Copies of this chain bind each other. A is one copy, B any other.
């Protein structure tokens, strides 16, 4: 693993989520020179692709240094035999040979991987799991992304479609999963940002006499970040919703601990803004369910790069496409 500081030139990392996009110009020292954010929700394929191209062009134009390559972390399953995006829960990207199209439109070398794979790469190389050989990463946002490092290597599975940790079933007769996922009771539908909004919404209907209830009455939109903000302020309904999501997360973590025996589990994505309000019940639930010795050996921590892990990892991948 060569440190990025040995290489010259900037790269652009792009993390495309279920509702938004973050592009960052990343220097050889891993410092982020410039960030561009775009909303990318409910767009058709052509508009989405143009939105991405525009964001990268804007980022590229904002720095004086040369940009030598671009890496994309996108929420799709890939088939590395063909290079095509095969399936996306949230975005209209099925069938798109994403890296080839972007490379041509941007006139830059482009590389693509699943967003969760990018995030685990960043956290294992330089973040919360630096130095660990067996790492699980979960990114909790609109959906749940994931990535696996085992035996010191990023494990994408046979054709590159693995690491879909959000689509591990924790409740076989549970609610239908999100978007186009045909499954029921996936971790994604129980422990994502969307689940947090649903849990808060159910609770506030019974407890309108709370900070959250009054804010909604005043016309405030019920979003994950807003629930998290009120929870940090002590609102009981918001805290209870986060704890419920944390326990569901902990059920999934117990499966991952038993199956993979990781040294570190890193939790990223927007929902990790809740910090210990989320992690404490998640750890407790995992600990009540998983087997020894793996349950006592694992560390469950917040992403060092926060919700920028995917973007940083995409930049690392641009720099080193064989990572």
Contacts and interface: CB of A to CB of B under 8 A. Distances in A.
Contact of A171 (B77, B153, B168, B171): B171
Interface in A244-272: 248, 251-252, 254-255, 258-263
B289 A169 contact: yes
Given A151-B151, A172-B248, A251-B172, A262 B158 contact: yes
Contact of A294 (B77, B288, B291): B77
Given A86-B292, A254-B183, A289-B184, A153 B156 contact: no
A183 B289 contact: yes
Interface string A143-173: 0001010110101111111111101111111
Contact of A164 (B164, B182, B184, B291): B291
A interface SS class: loop
Nearest to A264: B158
B172 A157 contact: no
Interface residues of A, number: 55
Nearest to A77: B291
Given A172-B171, A289-B184, A297-B158, A258 B151 contact: no
A32 to B, nearest CB: 30
Interface of A: 77, 79, 86-87, 132-134, 146, 148, 150-151, 153, 155-165, 167-173, 181-185, 248, 251-252, 254-255, 258-263, 288-294, 297-298
